[in-house]
Amino acid sequence: MILLRSVRFLLSALVLIMLLLGNPNTPWTHADTLFLPVVQTDESAAVTTAAAGSTWLVQTTPGVALEQLCAAHPLTIIETLPALALYRLVNVGPALYDCLRADPRVLVLTADSTAFVLEAQHTQLNGSSNEFEMLQRFFGYGSGDTNTLFESINIGQKPPKKGRQAKGHAPQVELVFVAPKAVNLLTARLEREWRDWGQRAIKLEKVAGWHNGAGIIVAILDTGVDLTHPALVQHLLPGYDFVDNDALPDDSIDGVDEDADGVVDEGAGHGTHIAGIIAQVAPGAQLLPVRVLNSDGGGNLFDIVAGIVFAVDQGAQVINLSLRAQEDSPLLRAALRYAAQRQVLVVASAAGDETGLDYPAAYAEAIAVGAIGRDYFVADFSKPYAEMVDLFAPGILIYSTYRDGQYAWWSGTSMAAPFVSGAAAIFLSSGQCPADCTRTLMVNEVDPVRPNIKHSGSLNLEKILKRLTR
């Protein structure tokens, strides 16, 4: 009987050990290490390794140079990131792949392909009838009939009271069919009345004359920035372009549909838009443009990981990541830990669904930001994961700088994150509230969103300031 029990115990222990050893995807979570001993294996490796030109990422044990491994196989290293012992390789044939995979000093082995996309939609405000459909939906007026253009839309007016809402429109608003020539007038009014709603929603005016982000570097990992935009040029530091590997992280089109979705260069202008939001919130901050996404909004893991390390090493104290990938990655996590260990705040646009957030927003090291509209209602696109975000900020119809010296309206959590990044720069620049304090106050001193969410709310600079100055 005792023997039987011992055998059983041994068998269970063996099964446990096998489980621990046998699942290469079980992360060993050492809070103090950047190196997660997880060998990521790829089921389609045989196919992918054979594809000419495909790139691979290899992370080795600290202190072990990749050149020491698999000496029998020629290595074609195209980039390295010493801070994370990370290598980017090409010409990884099946034999080299198998050798690397078998070597215990290889911590991560994964294909590098476009996995990251930006998280926003361009909102056209060009005076088309679509704009009026959008206005009608947005303001809750009209039937959505594209032939019906309204002369009077009381932008900025308080929503009608409950009893009145049942009868239709707010009584102060007269809705008259107008000719299309009024379109431009309406557009002008929309721009005038709406271009600053985000700043008002976060109570930016309450910190005016207090601190403005001076002395703080905010890195923008994105499609680049319009480096000569008149509204931005005085805020910009020299950055880097990890997509083209040059020193010019500009935000331009290339005429190539990199993601083959039939729309050419739909991502261009995104990084410039984000830079403009941060510059409006924290005009004293210096913006570090780090290009990690192409003009169609796609990016590779290596570029993003290298961009984060670069931003930290350049002295950024805030990193804005308005991008997301659906796959968890130990390398991305390692980059976020590299930032967190150096007290750098990482602000990430939220994306995902009811089952969870995408990455990097899902990581505890990042502040996950969802979007609200002007009325503090959670944006439709943020509703599925609204319970999981750390913080909300304005993200519908945001007016900001755009490529080629222009301005544009965009919607998305991409636009919400830079409100938080700018706010972080303000509180960091006060010298009274280091990274942990800034994060805690931003996440806790909030306005309620609608419908109310128990554990989070919308960024409110006034409440944070009161906590710091009382």
The reply to whether 257 sits near Ca ion by the rule CB under 5 A is: yes
Applying CB under 5 A, the span of 154-162, 288-296, 320-328, 449-457 interacting with Ca ion comes to 288-296
Burial of 167 from C-beta contacts in 10 A (0-12 / 13-18 / 19+): exposed
Figure out which of the listed residues 110, 280, 295, 460 binds Ca ion, where binding follows CB under 5 A.
295
Least distance between Ca ion and beta carbon 10 (Å): 58
Applying CB under 5 A, the span of 77-85, 255-263, 302-310, 376-384 interacting with Ca ion comes to 255-263
Between 325 and 423, whose beta carbon lies closer to Ca ion? 325
The reply to whether 256 sits near Ca ion by the rule CB under 5 A is: yes
d(CA 184, CA 125): 10
Between 45 and 219, whose beta carbon lies closer to Ca ion? 219
Applying CB under 5 A, the span of 116-124, 229-237, 244-252, 355-363 interacting with Ca ion comes to 244-252
- Confirm if 116 and 223 have CB atoms less than 8 A apart: no
Burial of 353 from C-beta contacts in 10 A (0-12 / 13-18 / 19+): exposed
The reply to whether 259 sits near Ca ion by the rule CB under 5 A is: yes
Residue 270 bears catalytic tag: yes
**85's tokens:** 């012992």
> Which residue in the list 103, 112, 211, 222 is annotated as catalytic?
222
Least distance between Ca ion and beta carbon 249 (Å): 6
- Tell me the Ramachandran region of residue 412: left when phi exceeds 0, alpha when psi lies from -120 to 50, beta otherwise: left
- The 3-state DSSP class for residue 233 equals helix
Task: Give residue 360's identity as a one-letter amino acid code.
Answer: P
> Which residue in the list 295, 414, 421, 456 is annotated as catalytic?
414
Task: Give residue 195's identity as a one-letter amino acid code.
Answer: R
Figure out which of the listed residues 64, 248, 341, 377 binds Ca ion, where binding follows CB under 5 A.
248
The reply to whether 261 sits near Ca ion by the rule CB under 5 A is: yes
Residue 455 bears catalytic tag: no
Burial 191-204 (b: 16+ CB within 10 A, else e): eeebbebbbebbbb
The reply to whether 263 sits near Ca ion by the rule CB under 5 A is: yes
d(CA 320, CA 346): 6
Asked if residue 360 has a cis previous peptide bond (ω within 30° of 0), the answer is yes
Least distance between Ca ion and beta carbon 290 (Å): 11
Between 213 and 271, whose beta carbon lies closer to Ca ion? 271
d(CA 399, CA 401): 7
Between 244 and 328, whose beta carbon lies closer to Ca ion? 244
Least distance between Ca ion and beta carbon 159 (Å): 37
Q: Which of 94, 385, 403 has the alpha carbon at shortest distance from 273?
A: 403
d(CA 235, CA 400): 15
Residues touching Ca ion, count (CB under 5 A): 14
> Which residue in the list 122, 211, 229, 270 is annotated as catalytic?
270
Residue 128 bears catalytic tag: no
The beta strands (E) that lie in 186-340 are given as 217-222, 240-241, 286-291, 298-300, 318-321, 323-324
Residue list 222-241, contact with Ca ion (CB under 5 A)? 241
Residue 362's CB: how many other CB atoms inside 10 A? 20
Between 258 and 445, whose beta carbon lies closer to Ca ion? 258
Between 222 and 390, whose beta carbon lies closer to Ca ion? 222
- Confirm if 429 and 216 have CB atoms less than 8 A apart: yes
- Binding pattern for the stretch 365-404 against Ca ion, x by CB under 5 A and - elsewhere: ----------------------------------------
Between 241 and 358, whose beta carbon lies closer to Ca ion? 241
The reply to whether 296 sits near Ca ion by the rule CB under 5 A is: yes
Q: Which residue is nearest to Ca ion (CB)?
A: 295
Q: List the catalytic residues.
A: 222, 270, 414
Q: What are the residues binding Ca ion (CB under 5 A)?
A: 241, 244, 246, 248, 254, 256-259, 261, 263, 265, 295-296
